[in-house]
Amino acid sequence: MSAADTPGFALVTGTALWHIAAMRRIGIDLGGTKIEGCVLDDADGRVLRRQRVPTEQERGYDHIVETIAGLVEALAGDATGGVAVGVGTPGAVSARTGLMKNSNTTCLNGRDLPADLARRLGRPVRVENDANCFALAEACRGAGRGGRLVFGVILGTGCGGGLVIDGRLWSGPQHIAGEWGHHVIDPAGPPCYCGQRGCVEAFIAGPAVERHHRQLGGAALDMEGIVAAARAGDATARAAFDSFIAHFGRALANLITMLDPDVIVLGGGLSNIEELYSEGRAAVARVLFNDELRTPICRHQLGDSAGVIGAALLAPGG
């Protein structure tokens, strides 16, 4: 399969196709409220420039395409060498249709974002899931450096993941590799937006834990409030938090049993919960199909920069 046959990759032919030598890569992280861009120097990997603009997704798909294009053009400036663009998005490009799917920025779904951006910019473009961008950045530049098989986990309002092998992203023939948040850990569990019941995301994403806390009779607290109340000894918050830790443990134990990665890197807002690296690790070890747990479970190192750096690394020629 050539690069141009890869889902999410689009280029333009003729004089608009840049040579890949001496390239600067531009990474774009398309979020629900903001779009961040960076310029990555191809020679030494330095981030040369970063910029953020609001997404304004309520203004629709065409507005988002124009906003991304304007940000790329501003970041490209007067670059004399080639410039290629990688875009990290919520959702993914369908391997069947080449169109966007499963994005919570819903105006993207069913649209050919890679081709539309390539035409608008006159530059090679690759579009990839944002969790995959996170995983690649942490594997190559962050907490996963040195690992042959690195799994990046996103824990926040949703649960995602990405798989990197020998420094290269593996997304699979169906473009679903790493969708750790949607393996079922209890078929009788709560419903998930994907149509299944008992997915990992339905148990340990922030909104799921908040909902469980209310079902137990607790106040309407956000995840930060639940964690604080649990630490302070509130029984209801502690019950919700213990459930969160137990399901986190089972979900990661399943992942380790199947892949046995060299390292797991946690990202997203919930990755800053200290107990994940102590109580959470112990919960993994209790149900792992092994007599010991050697797998490092690490906090991210690149912070908010991981997504945009990963997108730049995935730009054509990366």
**Tens digits of residue pLDDT in 47-78:** 889 999 999 989 999 999 999 999 999 998 86
- When divided into structural domains, the chain yields a total of 2
Residues 116 and 168 in one domain: no
Type of residue at 35: I
Q: Over 90: is that where the pLDDT of 215 sits?
A: yes
State the residue range of the domain holding 238.
145-298
Report the distance separating Cα 125 and Cα 75, nearest Å: 15
CATH code where residue 130 lies: 3.30.420.40
Q: What's the pLDDT tens digit per position in 217-230?
A: 999 999 999 999 99
Average pLDDT over residues 132-161: 95
Within a domain: 318:
no
Do 82 and 21 touch, CB atoms closer than 8 A? yes
**DSSP classification of residue 183:** S
Residues 293 and 238 in one domain: yes
Q: Over 80: is that where the pLDDT of 235 sits?
A: yes
Within a domain: 201:
yes
Report the distance separating Cα 280 and Cα 125, nearest Å: 39
Residues 130 and 154 in one domain: no
Within a domain: 222:
yes
Element at 153 (helix H, strand E): strand 149-155
Within a domain: 140:
no
Average confidence score pLDDT of the chain:
90
- The pTM of this model reads 0.88
